[in-house]
Structure 1
Amino acid sequence: MDNDPQAQTLIARFNKMKEKYEEVERFGRYHPDYSTIMKEVRVSKREMDMHETIAAYKIKETELQSFLDEISQIVAYSVSDKIMVPMDGALFKDGGCGCGSGGGCGCQAS
């Protein structure tokens, strides 16, 4: 990604828009440029996310996180199966628990 000038331009543009967004966010809807900045941030993020190099990077990043989660789980369970291992996106993968007890009650979020 460092060797892709277009990707770097899109990232820089998004970061500038993010700074503007943070400035506008302090005042919320009452800021005169609120709607314009909000739209520009969304457009800039979409452009960045749809770029081939950046999209491929994010896919690899997700795969790496899954691999690291798996390693963490193996290490934790080798010590004790009672150790809770935080997993990135576990709520979406496993259904999660809906009551906030951490899964101890056996309920499922639907």
Structure 2
Amino acid sequence: MALAKLDIVVLDCPDPHALAGFYAGVLGGTVEEDPEDSAWVDLKVPGGTALAFQRAPGFVPPEWPAADRSQQFHLDLVVEDLDAAEKGVLELGAKPLDTADRERTFRVYADPAGHPFCLCAC
């Protein structure tokens, strides 16, 4: 028996609205903002777990790979076409982190706030 149920994945960042917009461009979904709380933005993803973005003053992005600035977590995003998905995330502002092996089944990027994520072939 589970003790808890996953509700939402929260990413700390300097600009919650901007990062929610990036992931809405990647995953689709609806950005929902609370007009009374500009430090928190939700992204409701169709058929998936919602993401939330929380303003973190003094946010220092992780570095990949770096032991002294650990990534702490990353998102694996499954895609049908790695090349097409790569083109799309780069247009949205992602930065490639690892371009050495183009033949493997995943590619590593950083979102505009510096969080690592992977595009993975399904």
User: TM-score when scaled to structure 2?
Assistant: 0.18
Of Structure 1 and Structure 2, the greater strand share is in: 2
Higher relative contact order (CA 8 A, sep 6+): 2
Of Structure 1 and Structure 2, the greater helix share is in: 1
Structure showing greater radius of gyration is 1
